Structure 1
Amino acid sequence: MALVQSTPVDSTKLDTFLSRVIGDISAGYGGVMISLGHRLGLYKAMADSGPMSSHELARRTDCAERYVREWLGSQVAGGYANYHTISDTYELTPEQALVLAEEESPFFIPNAWSVPASMWADEDKAVEAFRTGNGIPWSDHDGRLFCGVAAFYRNGYKANLVPEWLPTLDGVVEKLKAGALVADVGCGHGHSTVLMAQAFPASRFHGFDTHEESLTEARKVAERAGVARQVSFTAAQANAYSGTGYDLICFFDCLHDMGDPGAAAAHAAKTIAVDGTVMLIEPFANDHVEDNVSPVARMYYAASTMICCAHAISEGGHTVLGAQAGEARLADVFRKAGFTHFRRAAQTPFNLILEARL
């Protein structure tokens, strides 16, 4: 009996790949530590406080010192805090604090770990979906998903939406200042709706979403921001929300989640003012798989597998765009819906900012 010769293995390539895999596993462990540091107030207590012992940090946060000391070791090992050997103290740099401790910073990241936590919790649902081809509705996911997504996007929108993105759209800011009618489709917790309402008090804003729990939170967000009379939040499908003559219709990181994005675009074409604008914010992606090789693309493909495609399939899956659809596929959706103008207005490492008009 002849032996089948296996494919030769390059030991150097194997070591390189294994190192990468171990690094990824380490990052997963580290994510739990980041979430703990945020929830327990450890990062906040360290921010702008200079070198600090584990005993002092435990005292300030009302935590057990032995746990705090081990947690600090994980932070030093991962490059998330600095250690001073002579004084046996730990310190956050200003840059680390901006990312880990300052909740209003556009770079604040700890809340983002709620998303992979929810994905792990939903693993059995994903296994079943892979085997059956069935979808997973947004509302069926672990509750950490909703808060994690809202918190992850909130600060990015706060830093970019009003000062950076809206001015890239032709004539939109002028309309908003004068008093415009705006639909925020797929508004979630309403952070995008409220940010625009705060910036443009002469305009009216209507947020639409299918997730009742998110809409309840959106109303609270609007109340806290003092714009409750200027905005409304209503349960509605993206192809069936009420109103016409919208000067601006927004889709913030949601069109690719929909089971029929073409129907959503077509409804926008019916309800938009003749000279109105659609602002489409989508995850950054190039048009071809081979051009989407990066940590951000990897993150988006994973989320798309577990969340975006799963929800679109649960809604019938007429067109399952996924979170890495790319500009060309998105443009095709809107052109088929009757929009004659479609362009990339701006981009960031995380988002495409796209403009569509009739």
Structure 2
Amino acid sequence: MGSVRPVDQAKLESFMGKMVGDMGAAMSGALVIVGAKLGLYKALAEIGPADSKALAAETGLAERYVREWLAAQAASGFVDYDAASGDFTLSPEQAMALADENSPVYVASAFELIASAYIDEPKITAAFRTGAGVGWHEHHECLFRGTERFFRPGYRANLVQSWLPSLEGVVDRLRGNAKVADIGCGAGASTVIMAQAFPTSRFIGFDYHEASIKRAREAAKEAGDPANLIFEVAAAKDAPGGDYDLVACFDCLHDMGDPVGAARHIRDMLKPDGTFMLVEPFAGDNIADNLNPVGRMFYSASTMICTPGSLAQEVGLALGAQAGEARLSDVLREAGFSHVRRAAETPFNMVIEARA
């Protein structure tokens, strides 16, 4: 048994302060879901400054609940409180993050995604003991809703404006009559955005998860049912067809059990001069590079969702959500891509271009 190290009281107090802060954050996440579902943030942004009575009247909700919710939001720093007037307000910055679903920084939906980690915790805890996987389809449905709504603002802000233009010659093809596959498309947010932006090209979204494809078809209808867009149920290694000008994977290759096999199949789907666009969570190549707030979020999500999902499939390579550019490039080169480069990045994503 090792020697007992003395406790530094100042360090203990600092650490406990951090833990209390994290406990408050973990608890307050549920209230963000409540506020988003009930339209409290949107209503406060529209009518504020307002007290609990005014906000309850505006939303048709019970005032006593609204009062307590507002106090919690103010304590979290999610809304501002004026002690003199007793009114609460959303600053323009808070409104962008919590009230405007079209904002590029809207994050309220992330908390529904996070809720799935708590709901599914017993399954993941059991998997720690057995080493078994937990498939995407085995998670609570709030994961699927939260993922769609969390990723859509980032795709809307970056995909057409910067990510696709960062790829050599791809936008010119898309303005013509290109054929595009979105592998692992989930609820179709990325596919719909591309199809709307390039109406003369054809887009097919593939995902193994039937419920996600059903939701993707609903999303397409909500977007005006573009004639150049279809969704089909198919796993990455089984996606049919060929002669694609562009194949894309958005935040999903690391979830696959056999990413090398999937990438090899994607290479075979492409025209000889076609492009594979790989969008993955931003990460450095070493753990030390990722010990930051973004890495904290992605490592946690990877523990609860991505790694178990990969382990539930054949091969079970379990890249994890923080694989990093070097490891992802190794996967692509092993799959037969000779040209691999980082084309673009944001604080949350990196975009890798690969060609045969």
Equivalent runs, 1:273-312 vs 2, <5 Å: 273-312=271-310
Distance 2:127 2:187 in 1: 27
Distance 1:178 1:301 in 2: 40
Which residue of 146, 149, 172 corresponds with 2:147? 149
Q: CA deviation at 1:242?
A: 0.6
The match for 2:208 is 210
The match for 2:123 is 125
The match for 2:44 is 46
Equivalent runs, 1:232-247 vs 2, <5 Å: 232-247=230-245
Q: CA deviation at 1:252?
A: 0.3
The match for 1:29 is 27
In structure 2, stretches of 5+ residues that fail to align are none
Q: Which amino acid aligns with 1:37?
A: G
Q: CA deviation at 1:223?
A: 1.6
The match for 1:230 is 228
Same amino acid, percent of matched pairs: 51
Q: 1:270 to 1:4 in 2, by over 3 A?
A: closer
Distance 1:86 1:184 in 2: 54
Q: CA deviation at 1:182?
A: 0.2
SS in 1 for 2:249: strand
Q: CA deviation at 1:241?
A: 0.8
Q: CA deviation at 1:97?
A: 0.8
Q: CA deviation at 1:45?
A: 0.7
Residues 196, 226 of structure 2: 8 Å contact kept: no
In structure 1, stretches of 5+ residues that fail to align are none
Distance 1:52 1:256 in 2: 45
Distance 2:2 2:309 in 1: 44
**TM-score relative to the length of structure 1:** 0.97
Distance 2:77 2:334 in 1: 49
SS in 1 for 2:353: strand
4+ runs of 1 displaced by more than 3 Å? none
Distance 2:339 2:72 in 1: 51
Which residue of 137, 140, 143 corresponds with 1:139? 137
Q: CA RMSD in A?
A: 1.2
Distance 1:53 1:232 in 2: 47
SS in 2 for 1:90: strand
The match for 1:268 is 266
Q: 1:223 to 1:76 in 2, by over 3 A?
A: same
- Residue 174 (str. 1) matches residue 172 (str. 2): yes
Residues 48, 94 of structure 1: 8 Å contact kept: no
Q: CA deviation at 1:226?
A: 2.2
Distance 2:293 2:254 in 1: 20
SS in 2 for 1:110: coil
Residues 195, 226 of structure 2: 8 Å contact kept: no
Residues 48, 92 of structure 1: 8 Å contact kept: no
Which residue of 313, 316, 320 corresponds with 1:315? 313
Distance 1:142 1:304 in 2: 16
The match for 1:193 is 191
Residues 247, 277 of structure 1: 8 Å contact kept: yes
How many equivalent residue pairs? 356
Residues 344, 353 of structure 1: 8 Å contact kept: yes
Distance 1:90 1:30 in 2: 17
Q: CA deviation at 1:316?
A: 2.4
Q: Which amino acid aligns with 2:251?
A: D
CA deviations over 1:181-240 (Å, ceiling 9, x no partner)? 000000001111110000001100111100001001111111221244211111111111
The match for 2:217 is 219
**TM-score relative to the length of structure 2:** 0.98
Residues 245, 272 of structure 1: 8 Å contact kept: yes
